[in-house]
Structures are given as C-alpha cells and as structure tokens.
Structure 1
Amino acid sequence: MKGIVFPGQRSLELAEFPDPSPGPGEVVIRMMASGMCGSDLHQYRSESPPQCIAGHEPAGIVQEVGAGVNPRLARVGDRVTVHHYGGCTVCDQCRSGWYQLCREGTVRYGADAHGSHAPYMTVPAVTLVRLPESMSYETGAALGCGTGTAWGALRRLGDLAGSDLLVSGQGPVGLSATMIASTLGARVIAVDVQDGRLQMARDLGAAEVINPREVPVEAAVRDVTGGIGVSHVLETSGVPHAATDVLACLATWGRACFVGLGGRPFEVDVTALLRTQATIMTSWTLSISDLIRCVDFADRHDLPVGRLFTDRWQLDQADAAYASFDQQRSGKGVFLF
C-alpha cells in the first residue's frame, strides 16, 4: 500500500509500505476517511519530521482482528474512529482513559507510529471507539482529534450554558468549539482574521464575530458584554498576541483554556490578573472516555460536523491537498478512500 510521508520543509511523498497485519491485541482498520489536522502542518513544515505514515484522524472499518482481542472491543466490520494514542494501559493515567499522559511513555499515531494517511492502519483494539450507523466516516474522523480537541477543552472550561464564550481562532478546532458551545447554550463570540472563517462561525452558531484587523478585540468584547468581559475563553490559534488579547477580555472569575500549538511563548501579566480571580488552563485533546461522550453528543444533537470540511481529496492528490491546507484560509480537509 502507499502512505503519505513528510520528508520535511513542506514536501511529501507517497511511499510504499507492506499491507499491515495485526499483532496480539491489535486490529487493522480499512480506512474510509482520514482528516487533515492543524498539528499535521507542524510536521509538514518541519525540517526533520518523523518518518512514518502521517495522519491521526482515522475513521474506517475493522478489517482484521488480532489474537486475544475481546469482541466487546472490536469485531470485523465495526465502524470506528480511533483515540490516536497508545500507552501502557495499566498506569493510573491510562486506566482513566488518558493514554496520551501514560507514565511509561506515549505512542502518537501519525508521529511515533504509522498513521491514517494510507488505505490501512494498525492500532491497539483498546483505542477504538464505535461510530453510530447514521454517522459519516468524515464526521468520525473529525471527532477523533480536531472536533474532539474542542470538546475536551470545553469540558475543561466547565458549564457553559448561558455563559459568554470567546473562541479565538476559527480554524477547524475553533469552528468545532463554536458549534459545540452554541449547542450547549453559550453565547459564542468568534474571533479570526479571515472573513470567510468568521462567516463559517456565524453559520455554525456564533452570536457575534470579531476581526482583529478591523477592531481591537478587547474593545469589541467589552462593547458586546456591557463592559463586563467574558466568563470563558478558548484560545485555539496559538498566536502570542491573540493569547494576550483574550486574557484582557476575561471577566472577574473568568476561565481561559489554551489549546493552540503556535510554538511561540507569550507572557502572562499576573499582576493584571491577580484581582480578577482568573483561572488559566491548558487542554491536550481528550481522553478516550470523553471521545465516547463526544461521539454520542454529536450523534444525539445531529451536529453538522461535516460542514467543517471544505476540501475532499484522494490520496494521489496529497501534494495539492497539503499545499492548500498550508494556506489555512478555508475549513478542514479530508482524504477519502
């Protein structure tokens, strides 16, 4: 089979790999959809990315089951997405569903081991989450990371019903947060420098949109909230000045969560925040338990996750797919098989 590998510096190859077979406790998934995530771009742009099959938003059908797999975890023909981390499965973090926090070391599929940008993928059966029959494979792929990351961060922020939530950055994660939070009853204020993405945010439930190129973010937020500021902030862009802007928008007792992977640090003025009783936190994707809840929520509320996808590609279009995604001017891309 052929799989996408990033040699480095915005280049990629369709390299040849043997068709996989499952070891004990593993399954082989026949890929139906493999989402393109913003964190894939960090590897695509890197000078020395990992040399394995890229992609970590898989959704597909269980093709083959290895020895010792409990049928309650996986059967041939199951429709699944994947919690794309491997851990020891026995430490306290793994047993609570946080394989990415494994105390013995974490395997990230698509970075430390072969990922989903190929026709087949091998993963431990314990990482699988079944998809409802009514759910598309595209949606299942997005829930596995991009939309799931938004879900995990919103869970960290707490009860959002009736609150004002500022979502900074309206890429796939930010748009997912806008969609989910508005469904949960929050008034979402969406921030982005791309008008097209702001329109998508409105379409997905944002009550207000702000373009920082046109108006200062803090002034606009204070105007919308009667001078109080927002009770909750989710920063997804990873841009340092955006992080500074959103912290200035917090109301007293406000809570801010950061998920953006910009790779550049920013300073927090503790003195300015001291008397606000602010809570600042981070969120790294979500646990497998929360992925199960996220899939169920998306299904029960018929979330329009598919509207995040603006580009659909075949594997042999990989060069064009990543060149387009690298511009970060549209929504989400996905490889279909």
Structure 2
Amino acid sequence: MVMTETMAGVRLPGDSTVEHVTVAVPSPGHGQVLLAMKASSICGSDIRAIYREHLGHGAEAYRGVIAGHEPCGEVVAVGPGVHRIGVGDRVAVYHIAGCGQCDECRHGYLIGCTAPTRAAYGWQRDGGHAEYLLAEERTCLVLPDELSFADGALVSCGFGTAYEALLRLRVSGLDRLLITGLGPVGLAAAMLGRAMGAGPIIGTDLSPDRLKLAADLGLVDHAVPAGDGAAEAIAELTGGRGAEASIDCSGSAAARELALANTRTWGRCAFVGEGGTVSFAVSELLIHKQITLYGSWVTSVRHMADLLANLARWGLRPDVVVSHRYPLAEAAEAYRVAAEGAGGKVCIVF
C-alpha cells in the first residue's frame, strides 16, 4: 500500500544539470504495476544523449520525463489484468515498453519496436530516478533470490546489452576475447564472457582507473592501455593472430578500429558502444580477413530473463562493478561522477 500522494524525482534539463522535482505518485492501470524503487543505475547513453545536451531523436528523444532507464524495485500495487506479477515481488524492468504487436516486439526485442507508442523508461516515459515507478507488467522480470536490486538494475540495460552481443558472437571456450572500452558495459562483457568460457580476456581503455578496476576485479587477464602501443601489445598477447572474438563497448572510432584490426582472420567483431562514426580500410580490415561484423543493440526480454537465471546459476553478481552509490538527493553528484567516465557503474539507491 502506497501511503503518500507525492514523490521525489529527478529530471535532466540538459547542460550537465540535474533538476529535482516533486510529482504525484501514479496509480497502476490495466496491465501495470507500481514499483517502490530500490536501485536505479546511470547508463552511458543517459550521459551522452540527455545529461550533457538533448541530442536524441526518435528512439533517443528525451521528453522531459523522470530520468533513469535501469530500474529495479519491489511491487507495491498492481492494476487490473495483472496475473504474473504480485505485490512483494522483486523485479528488474526491461527498459522499453513496446506495442507488443510489431515484428520486433513479437520476437521480444522491444528495443526495436516500430510503433509510435513505443516509450523507453527515462526517455519518453517516467523512469527509475524517483521513489516510485509505474511499469508495464510485460516489461517486468522477477529477480532470482540470489540477486540484489542493484544486480537487477545493471541487468536492465548494460549487462543485457553485453550478453546479447556475446550471444551474437557465439563466444565460447574456443575464443580469446578482446574488449575495447572498460566502462560498465565493457566490464559486463568481461564478466559474462569469462562465464561463457572465453579466455584469455584482453581489455583496453584510456582510463588508468578503469584498467585497474577491471584487473583488480579479475575480469580481464590483460589490461592494455589504449593508444600508442595497444595494437602491438595485443599482437604479442595473441601470437600475432588477433582475438577470435572482439567487442567494442566504447563508441570511440579509434577503439572500433582497434577491435577490428585485432580480430583474427575468420573472427567475429561486435560494435556495442553508441554514437560517433568510424572510418577504416574495409578491404584490409574486414573483407580480406573474412570477418563477421555485428551491430548489437540492447537485448530481448527472453534473453534478459535467461541472463538473470544464468547469473544466479553461475554465482555472479553484477553489482561488483558498481564503484559509486548515491541516494536520490545526491543525483547531481551521481551524474557528475558518471560523466567523468573514470570509474565503474554509478547507481542511485533507495
């Protein structure tokens, strides 16, 4: 039972600022549940396309709503027509509410919904940076008992994104894995890649702090500083052949080219990091090496459910990559730290 009529929340007006607001607590309608928020992490896409300035169009257009598209909480009220989720359930939220009828939705990839009613939490509809969140039941997945609310928040986007790319790459124990960009998604790719059998795992980043974090957590076998000398170091670690599988999680043109250039002949490469452009020698780096290049965008509801179950089975906790936790009242500091891009995941906790 919700005992309050208003709640605190956070919006992102742009210009690297945070706006604290007080809004009404919503009531669940048909097929909806009301969550008391417990954890809501900050994604690099929030920083890139909303916090600094409102760059997004279409799927990334920000509508001035409560921010936060990586929510996890406890169900406190349900609307009519809700059958699978009950009060007291701990749930992670797939962060896009699609129409449920288009081809992408019917395959579970609500991220690619083509209907004008598509709305992402924290972008076109209120997200998790508030005391309560109104969510569609179809976007909610019950957390295994072994996982924390912070674990669930991280799976909602970042870990799900990394997992989808690794599935696309068919990563296994036959593969050395190269990860360019050791931000939160790169750290997730390293953790999950190892669980799926890949190794050794090589990670690169410009940030010494992120390289140290990845090494200290035991997520990478080799932490290679990006920039001059990175290609030579990777070549030495792979016997000059490159990695069987690679994934760019940075969105940097240089890192994307580094990933491709250091993927072995007949290998596979995935681009996950958002934004920017890239220019490379297509014949030399892609065609003549017979490389398969994937673009991978978030994950599906089914694969997110599989990931939650696998994390519990593997005994893995995504929240080990959380380097900073803040209460909602300190959201401005949380965003400032996340925008610096020097640490691990930043999470708002309730």
Normalising by structure 1, we get a TM-score of: 0.96
Residue 52 of structure 1 is matched in structure 2 by 65
Cα distance between partner residues in 2 of 1:88 and 1:7: 28
1:112–1:186 Cα change, 3 Å: same
More divergent stretch after superposition (241-250 vs 264-273): 264-273
> Offset at 1:160?
2.3
Gaps of 5+ in 1: none
Q: Percent identity?
A: 36
Aligned residues: 333
> Offset at 1:288?
0.4
> Offset at 1:47?
4.5
Cα offsets for 1:258-297 (capped at 9, x unmatched) = 1111x22111322112121111111111000000011011
Is the Cα–Cα contact under 8 Å of residues 168 and 236 in structure 1 kept in the other structure? yes
For residue 277 of structure 1, the aligned residue among 256, 280, 290 is 290
Cα offsets for 1:128-159 (capped at 9, x unmatched) = 11001221101111011111111111111113
For residue 99 of structure 2, the aligned residue among 73, 88, 100 is 88
Residue 313 of structure 1 is matched in structure 2 by 326
Amino acid in the other structure paired with 1:81 = A
> Offset at 1:58?
0.8
More divergent stretch after superposition (85-94 vs 221-230): 85-94
Is the Cα–Cα contact under 8 Å of residues 180 and 258 in structure 2 kept in the other structure? no
Cα distance between partner residues in 1 of 2:246 and 2:41: 26
Amino acid in the other structure paired with 1:136 = S
Normalising by structure 2, we get a TM-score of: 0.92
Residue 4 of structure 2 is matched in structure 1 by none
Whether 1:68 and 2:81 are equivalent positions in the alignment is: yes
Whether 1:119 and 2:126 are equivalent positions in the alignment is: no
Is the Cα–Cα contact under 8 Å of residues 37 and 146 in structure 1 kept in the other structure? yes
Residue 110 of structure 2 is matched in structure 1 by 99
Cα distance between partner residues in 1 of 2:246 and 2:289: 14
> Offset at 1:252?
0.7
Is the Cα–Cα contact under 8 Å of residues 11 and 65 in structure 2 kept in the other structure? yes
> Offset at 1:178?
0.6
More divergent stretch after superposition (283-292 vs 48-57): 48-57
Cα distance between partner residues in 1 of 2:146 and 2:173: 27
SS at match of 2:40: strand
Cα offsets for 1:45-70 (capped at 9, x unmatched) = 11475300000111111111111112
Cα distance between partner residues in 1 of 2:38 and 2:305: 19
> Offset at 1:87?
1.1
Is the Cα–Cα contact under 8 Å of residues 171 and 198 in structure 2 kept in the other structure? no
Whether 1:293 and 2:306 are equivalent positions in the alignment is: yes
Cα distance between partner residues in 2 of 1:32 and 1:204: 28
Amino acid in the other structure paired with 1:279 = T
Is the Cα–Cα contact under 8 Å of residues 25 and 125 in structure 1 kept in the other structure? yes
Whether 1:221 and 2:269 are equivalent positions in the alignment is: no
For residue 90 of structure 2, the aligned residue among 79, 92, 112 is 79
Residue 30 of structure 1 is matched in structure 2 by 36
Cα distance between partner residues in 1 of 2:16 and 2:342: 17
Gaps of 5+ in 2: 1-6, 56-61
Whether 1:21 and 2:27 are equivalent positions in the alignment is: yes
Cα distance between partner residues in 1 of 2:85 and 2:47: 31
Cα distance between partner residues in 2 of 1:107 and 1:304: 29
Over the residues paired in the alignment, what is the CA RMSD in angstroms?
1.3
SS at match of 1:276: coil
Amino acid in the other structure paired with 1:45 = R
SS at match of 1:88: coil
Amino acid in the other structure paired with 2:124 = D
Cα distance between partner residues in 1 of 2:299 and 2:54: 28
SS at match of 1:33: strand
More divergent stretch after superposition (117-126 vs 42-51): 42-51
Is the Cα–Cα contact under 8 Å of residues 175 and 204 in structure 1 kept in the other structure? no
Residue 148 of structure 2 is matched in structure 1 by 136
More divergent stretch after superposition (4-13 vs 93-102): 93-102
More divergent stretch after superposition (48-57 vs 274-283): 48-57
Amino acid in the other structure paired with 1:36 = I
SS at match of 2:17: coil
More divergent stretch after superposition (102-111 vs 133-142): 102-111
SS at match of 1:110: coil
Cα distance between partner residues in 1 of 2:288 and 2:337: 45
